[in-house]
Amino acid sequence: MSNRTISVMFVCMGNVCRSPAAHAVFMHKLRERGLEEQVLVASSGTIAYHTGEPADPRMIQELARNGVESVSRAQQFTLEDFSRYDLILAMDRRNYESLKEMAANGNCQYFSRVRLFRDFDPEGPGDVPDPYYGGRSGFAEVFRMVDRTTDYLLDRIFAGELVP
């Protein structure tokens, strides 16, 4: 990886469960590695329903149970974000398709920056399931997916494999 700061955006639907978890875990692991100054990290949602709200309290609790601090407030992904972020990680196929549709309406030259988050999961690709309408076990499952995937993702980023 070059010496410049890179930027990473995590995207789910409402930006209150999955992408805030990925944002928080990613920041936590950057701090553990002493690399927090090298990466700008954000999260957003493809809808604006929760704009300005903190993460879902159940996700905040799951993060805290694992020693990770919640760090974001919900915001909506914008067309400008395509050019602002080097790597945009959709938490599931539905949000990937929403981003693809947005890109087709104005920033398709940047769509190559969009990837599915779990394409970097050592246990295999797929969607990060939305735990919003479920119980605690769904939030724990999302945390486990995010935790293991983030380690692999960071290794790939700092090996210079994912961003210019």
Q: How confident is the model at residue 70 (pLDDT cuts 50, 70, 90)?
A: very high
Q: What is the pLDDT of residue 135?
A: 87
> 130: Cβ–Cβ under 8 A, 6 or more apart, which residues?
12, 13, 17, 18, 92
- In terms of pTM, does the model score above 0.85? yes
Taking residues 121-135, report their average pLDDT. 94
Q: How confident is the model at residue 162 (pLDDT cuts 50, 70, 90)?
A: confident
Q: What is the pLDDT of residue 93?
A: 98
- Active-site residues: which are they? 12, 18, 130
Q: How confident is the model at residue 164 (pLDDT cuts 50, 70, 90)?
A: low
Beta carbons of 82 and 36 less than 8 angstroms apart: no
Average pLDDT, the chain: 93
Domains and CATH numbers, the chain: 6-158 (3.40.50.2300)
Taking residues 83-97, report their average pLDDT. 96
Beta carbons of 56 and 136 less than 8 angstroms apart: no
Q: What is the pLDDT of residue 109?
A: 81
Taking residues 109-118, report their average pLDDT. 91
The pair of three-digit structure tokens given for residue 10, joined into one six-digit string: 């995590």
Rounded to an integer, what distance in angstroms lies between the CA atom of residue 59 and that of residue 138?
10
Taking residues 12-22, report their average pLDDT. 96
